[in-house]
């Protein structure tokens, strides 16, 4: 067997460790013995479908991972994965459009679990063009991946003034995501390599200071002066579809009045 092919035992161990739970802690939550958890994770015992569903629920595994585990165990997948333009998701699309429109002129964008950019409002389109003029000329035959754009030497990270502050924090967050979704690992590695080239190994791992604000602010050098933003994320509550579970709406807010005024004037 190809060693790179995920296995049931490997996936279960990986998801548990990503949540920093011991086998004992997981067994207490599930109401089974630690020995049984160990046997399942080692492949010496086959879990029932019901146990697997409870197992993955306790670990808060992404829905796509839950389906993968079910298939690895020889069971039918549990969750659907409708396309975003499916007529069944008409209400969902309407809600997304309302969120994007209501946030103008501040930037807002819709991304999936792989950090593919799915939609932008007018403020987001304007900011993307300001931070990376070449983005306007990217081919539209495939999704634009924000991690690729961050890692690119001429990408969105290039104009960040305080990269030494926001870069390591974002990297730690991305590593946590990649621990649950290994498909992200190559893109996270590329982002880390970019940070190494910009900040140096020593600064990347040691340049930490106590927070001076309640939220992390990203500051960009632009032709309109320095623009500063902080973010909030909107997700669907209790989604039962893989596509919906993967969606995040990022809302950027002006961190100062100067940034707010620029957006009010420039985004038409």
Mark whether 101 and 135 lie in a shared domain: yes
Cβ-proximal residues to 115 (8 Å cutoff; 6+ apart), any chain: 145, 146, 147, 184, 187
- The domain tally of the chain equals 2
pLDDT of residue 22: 96
Mark whether 59 and 98 lie in a shared domain: no
- 80 part of a folded domain: no
Pick 8 or 203 by higher pLDDT: 8
Which of helix, strand or coil describes residue 118?
strand
What's the CA gap between 243 and 72, in Å, rounded?
20
- 210 part of a folded domain: yes
Going along the chain, which residue ranges are E strands? 108-111, 116-120, 144-145, 218-222, 225-234, 248-254
How far CA 104 is from CA of 63, 224, 235, 236, in Å, comes to 31, 18, 19, 21
Mark whether 30 and 120 lie in a shared domain: no
What's the CA gap between 248 and 250, in Å, rounded?
6
Mark whether 67 and 108 lie in a shared domain: no
Report how far apart the first and last C-alpha atoms of the chain are (Å, whole number). 56
Percentage of the residues of the chain whose pLDDT score is greater than 70: 91
pLDDT, mean of residues 105-121: 95
- In terms of C-beta distances under 8 Å and separation of at least 24 residues, what long-range contacts does 198-207 make, across chains too? 198/157, 198/163, 198/167, 199/163, 199/164, 199/167, 203/164, 204/167, 204/168, 204/171, 205/168, 207/164, 207/168
pLDDT of residue 142: 65
> Which tens digits make up the pLDDT trace of 75-107?
999 999 998 889 989 999 999 999 999 999 999
- 3 part of a folded domain: no
- 165 part of a folded domain: yes
Mark whether 186 and 56 lie in a shared domain: no
Reported pTM: 0.82
Which of helix, strand or coil describes residue 227?
strand
Q: Which of 43, 72, 101 is the last residue of a domain?
A: 72
Mark whether 49 and 167 lie in a shared domain: no
Q: Which of 22, 39, 72 is the last residue of a domain?
A: 72
Domain that holds residue 48: 8-72
pLDDT, mean of residues 152-160: 92
CATH at residue 144: 3.30.450.180
Pick 136 or 181 by higher pLDDT: 181
pLDDT of residue 1: 35
- 77 part of a folded domain: no
Mark whether 95 and 13 lie in a shared domain: no
Which of helix, strand or coil describes residue 209?
coil
Instruction: For the chain, give the mean pLDDT.
Output: 90
Peptide bond just before 23 cis, omega within 30 deg? no
pLDDT of residue 171: 94
CATH at residue 46: 1.10.260.40
Q: Which of 29, 49, 72 is the last residue of a domain?
A: 72
pLDDT, mean of residues 24-34: 96
Does residue 151 surpass a pLDDT of 50?
A: yes
pLDDT of residue 215: 85
Q: Which two tokens stand for residue 253?
A: 């807010």
pLDDT of residue 96: 95
Mark whether 64 and 115 lie in a shared domain: no
Q: What angle do CA 68, 71, 76 make, to 5 degrees?
A: 115
Query: Which helix (H) or strand (E) is 126 found in, with range?
Result: helix 122-131
Give the confidence band of 5 by pLDDT, cuts at 50, 70, 90.
confident
Question: Is 234:243 a contact under the CB 8 Å cutoff?
Answer: no
Cβ-proximal residues to 46 (8 Å cutoff; 6+ apart), any chain: 40, 73
pLDDT of residue 204: 67
Q: Bin 86: left if φ > 0, else alpha if -120 < ψ < 50, else beta.
A: beta
Mark whether 95 and 67 lie in a shared domain: no
Mark whether 99 and 186 lie in a shared domain: yes
Mark whether 63 and 96 lie in a shared domain: no
Mark whether 107 and 65 lie in a shared domain: no
pLDDT, mean of residues 110-122: 94
pLDDT of residue 2: 39
């Amino acid at each position: 067997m190809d060693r790179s092919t995920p296995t049931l035992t490997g996936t279960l161990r990986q998801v548990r460790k990503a949540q920093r739970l011991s086998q004992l802690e997981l067994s207490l939550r599930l109401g089974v013995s630690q020995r049984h958890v160990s046997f399942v994770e080692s492949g010496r015992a086959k879990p029932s479908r019901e146990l697997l569903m409870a197992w993955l629920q306790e670990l808060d595994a992404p829905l796509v991972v839950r389906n993968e585990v079910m298939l690895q165990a020889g069971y039918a997948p549990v969750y659907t994965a409708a396309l975003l333009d499916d007529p069944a998701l008409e209400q969902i699309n309407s809600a997304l459009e309302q969120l994007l429109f209501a946030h103008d002129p501040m930037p807002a964008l819709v991304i999936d679990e792989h950090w593919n950019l799915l939609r932008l409002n007018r403020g987001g389109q304007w900011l993307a063009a300001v931070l990376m003029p070449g983005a306007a000329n990217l081919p539209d035959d495939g999704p634009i991946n924000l991690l690729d754009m961050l890692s690119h030497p001429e990408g969105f990270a290039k104009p960040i003034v305080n990269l030494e502050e926001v870069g390591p924090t974002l990297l730690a967050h991305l590593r946590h995501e990649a621990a649950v979704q290994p498909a992200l690992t190559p893109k996270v590695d590329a982002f880390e390599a970019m940070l190494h080239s910009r900040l140096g190994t020593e600064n990347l791992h040691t340049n930490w200071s106590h927070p001076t604000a309640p939220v992390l602010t990203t500051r960009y050098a632009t032709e309109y002066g320095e623009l500063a933003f902080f973010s909030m994320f909107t997700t669907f509550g209790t989604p039962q579809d893989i596509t919906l579970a993967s969606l995040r709406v990022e809302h950027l807010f002006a961190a100062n009045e100067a940034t707010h005024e620029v957006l009010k004037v420039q985004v038409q």
